[in-house]
Amino acid sequence: MSGDAPQGAGEIDPITLAVLAGRMEQIADEMDATLFRSAFNPIIAEAHDASHGLYHAATGETLVQGKSGLPIFVGVMAFAVKAVIDKADGDMSDGDIWVFNDAHIGGTHLSDMRLVRPYFHDGEVFCHLASVGHWHDVGGAVPGNYNPQATEVFQEAFVLPPVRLVRAGELQQDIVDILMRNTRLPQSAMGDLNGQLGALDLGAARLDALIAEYGAETVRAALDALSHRAERLARAEIAALPDGRWEAEDFLDNDGITDTPLPIRVAIEISGERLALDFTGTAPATAGPVNISRGTAIACIYVAIKHIFPVLPANAGVMRPIDVTIPEGSLLAAEFPAPTGGYTETILRMIDVIFACLAQAAPERVVANAYGTINALSIAGRRADGRRWVMFSFYGGGHGGAPEGDGLNHGNAPISTATIPPLEILESAYPVMFTQWALRPDSAGPGLHRGGLGAVYEIEVLEERGAEGFLFGERGRFPPRGVAGGGDAALNVFSYENAGEWANPPMVSKMVGIRLKQGERVRLETPGGGGYGPAADRAPGAVARDVRLGYVSPERADADYGPAWREVGA
């Protein structure tokens, strides 16, 4: 990979390039929108845990990706497409569509069902179209597939390697049958599969029209030029940072099997237009499911970089001036069949350490750590008529304080754009009642600009036959960090009622098989974001306002900011 002009690319004038860039982004956006509207499960329809794009014919590299899909997929889809290219080994036909969920070759976790469609023009693969969506259930030991006690992928879900779902335009019913027999919710899965196929059809039709209008050579030249432009942009942004070497370290609570903290370490070196990230010193692969594949790790770096430089496009060219070292055998480069179900927690921590590290180099470019855990909570059971129900959702927390102001209260995770379902929708669909849905006072890290507040969610089981709870979370022992002198946020706390007493999981943030009787509750108290800048520099009037609004208790205000706010009055 180099920064030279793309080889063999036809010339393209800057105006046509700008026009085609917009047209191709619109194709990917439209594929996203189609699946969001037609998907059956709320994780795709409401939380937008899906993504679509156009990928390089030979390398699978990202060319264009939808703006509304899940951020983490921006980098990881290239690995999924590459996996299909490798598996096919040249044996691809017009009208083929491949499907798989194997996370070790495709990244993320087994819940993400990937469909890849080689797009042919004049008898040759022009590019690939791909669709990924998080299915509601893909078998395994735990409904919803967040099994914190898994020690092999086989306990997380069924594993499907890349196979042809559609062969030269013919849907392979055998494959559909295998998929539908391996989920607890076949109707939801069938609806999602249909939606993903519809999105790929639509992408192909739009690409047909675009090539008919501009010609294949012009479109190809535009794709090459966009990749080159992405690289130039990345180089320019990196060059604006100071040269030097910095290090940072943070920890995962545990892997769900052994209660031992797991270090994630990064060293960042900036030298002119190049940036190197080295994760040497990170914990080795674990028995429990906080491992990620190398592809996921690289995709996560991409997400962090794009948060720091939002101007960079979703294009593989961005990564060319970036060198990455992921140590072999670490939990960031796990081998099959190590479990990966909790990949979200690990990549959130990677983003946190990258931000904390870069804060030393260029504090004006970063924000403090966000709440740093997806808090995948599943409550499941059977109704009186025997029907199974699974309420599975991710819960929010605070964002980090920023150079220009306080962090956002109750936001979504940096790797996601997911919204939370309304509690009224959850209560109408499942036999539960929320008894609290509130901001959590004193959960934000103090600072010149404090973090945003986390939340308190309390849920009571209404079903006579009781229910079972599963939690996959993090930040139970190590709080989200402040940067540039800002303070840390509060820890994540999960509690559940058991025979009249409130209890906490032995593994702090992870637990399976929590037995809940009718009338018993679970409670999640999520972290806020870290603070930005020294608390001592915060205006007393701002502290007084926080106390008046109940964001911060008077005691904590005194402890973190000193008594000056009391002079100001509310």
Does residue number 503 form part of the binding site for other proteins (CB under 8 A)? no
Residues 331-370 touching other proteins, rule: CB under 8 A, are: 367, 370
**Choice between 20 and 103, CB closer to other proteins:** 20
Which token pair is 386?
A: 């025997």
DSSP per-residue codes, 444-495:
SPPSSBPPPP-EEEEEEE--TT-EEEEEE---SSSPPPPBTTPPP-PPPEEE
Please check whether residue 97 is in contact with residue 4, taking contact to mean a CB–CB distance below 8 angstroms.
Answer: no
Asked if residue 412 binds other proteins (CB under 8 A), the reply is: yes
CB of 483 to other proteins, least distance (A): 12
Q: Does 528 contact other proteins by CB under 8 A? A: no
Q: Considering the complex, state which of residue 162 and residue 191 has its C-beta at the smaller distance from other proteins.
A: 191
Structure-block tokens of residue 488: 């840390």
Q: Closer CB to other proteins, residue 104 or residue 307? A: 307
**Residue 296, both tokens:** 């996921």
Region 266-325 residues binding other proteins, contact defined as CB under 8 A: 306-307, 310-311, 313
Which residues lie across from 133 on neighbouring strands? 50, 113
**Residue among 22 and 386 whose Cβ is closer to other proteins:** 22
Footprint (CB under 8 A) of other proteins, residues 200-259: 226, 228-233, 236-237
Q: How far is the CB of 201 from other proteins (least distance, A)?
A: 9
Q: Calculate ∠ Cα 504-508-510, nearest 5°.
A: 100
Q: Which is nearer to other proteins, 100 or 532 (CB)?
A: 532
Nearer to other proteins, 387 or 499 (CB): 387
Report the Cα–Cα distance between both ends of the chain, in Å, rounded. 59
Amino acid at 378: S
Contacts of residue 453, defined as CB under 8 A and 6 or more positions apart, other chains included, come to 398, 409, 410, 439, 440, 441, 443, 444, 528, 551
The Cα–Cα gap between 136 and 42 comes to 8
Angle between helices 343-361 and 294-308 (to 10 degrees): 40
CB closer to other proteins out of 128 and 399: 399
Q: Is residue 5 involved in binding other proteins (CB under 8 A)?
A: no
Quickly count: other Cβ atoms within 10 Å of residue 353's Cβ. Answer: 25
Q: At what angle do helices 14-38 and 216-239 cross, to 10 degrees?
A: 90
**By the rule CB under 8 A, 405 interacts with other proteins:** yes
Q: Is 33 exposed, middle or buried (0-12, 13-18, 19+ CB in 10 A)?
A: middle
User: In this structure, are strands 455-461 and 432-439 parallel, antiparallel, or unpaired?
Assistant: antiparallel
Give the contacts of 212 (CB within 8 A, at least 6 positions apart): none
Helix (H, G, I), strand (E, B) or coil at 45: helix
If binding is defined by CB under 8 A, does position 17 make contact with other proteins?
yes
Nearer to other proteins, 229 or 274 (CB): 229
Kindly tell me which of 550 and 563 has the beta carbon lying closer to other proteins.
Answer: 550
**String of contacts with other proteins for each residue 168-187, x by CB under 8 A:** -----------------x-x
- Of 462-481, which residues contact other proteins (CB under 8 A)? 462
Round to whole Å and give the CA distance between 196 and 106: 17
Taking CA atoms, 496 is separated from 165, 258, 382, in Å, by: 43, 21, 20
506 binds other proteins (CB under 8 A): no
**Least distance from other proteins to the Cβ atom of residue 198, Å:** 7
Contact flag: residue 439 with other proteins (CB under 8 A): yes
Should residue 411 be labelled a site residue for other proteins when binding is judged by CB under 8 A?
Answer: yes
Q: Considering the complex, state which of residue 65 and residue 340 has its C-beta at the smaller distance from other proteins.
A: 65
Provide the minimum distance between the beta carbon of 160 and other proteins in the complex, in angstroms, as a whole number. Answer: 22
CB of 498 to other proteins, least distance (A): 22
Task: Give yes or no for residue 41 binding other proteins (CB under 8 A).
Answer: yes
Minimum Å gap between C-beta 16 and other proteins is 9
Q: What character string, x for contact with other proteins (CB under 8 A) and - otherwise, covers 366-385?
A: -x--x---------------
Q: Shortest Cβ distance from residue 408 to other proteins (Å)?
A: 6
Which residue stretch of 290-298, 336-344, 400-408, 469-477 sits at the interface with other proteins (rule: CB under 8 A)? 400-408
Nearer to other proteins, 256 or 452 (CB): 452
- For other proteins, the closer CB: 233 or 543: 233
Q: What are phi and psi of 291, to 5 degrees?
A: -75, 155
422 binds other proteins (CB under 8 A): yes
**505 is an interface residue for other proteins by CB under 8 A:** no
Element of type H or E holding 249: strand 244-252
Q: Is 3 in the site for other proteins (CB under 8 A)?
A: no
Single out the residue of 56, 220, 410, 481 in contact with other proteins (rule: CB under 8 A): 410
Q: Establish if 123 lies at the interface with other proteins (CB under 8 A).
A: no
Shortest distance, CB of residue 311 to other proteins, whole angstroms?
A: 7
Q: Should residue 2 be labelled a site residue for other proteins when binding is judged by CB under 8 A?
A: no
| 452 in contact with other proteins (CB under 8 A) | yes
- Render the burial of 117-133: b for 16+ CB within 10 Å, e for the rest: bbbbbeeebbbbbbbbb
Smallest gap from residue 158 Cβ to other proteins (A): 20
Which of 161, 198, 281, 327 is the binder for other proteins (CB under 8 A)? 198
Alpha carbon distance 424, 357 (integer Å): 41
Quote the distance between the C-alpha of residue 561 and its chain's center.
34
Among 163, 176, 216, 433, binds other proteins (CB under 8 A): 433
- Here the tokens at position 224 are 């090459």
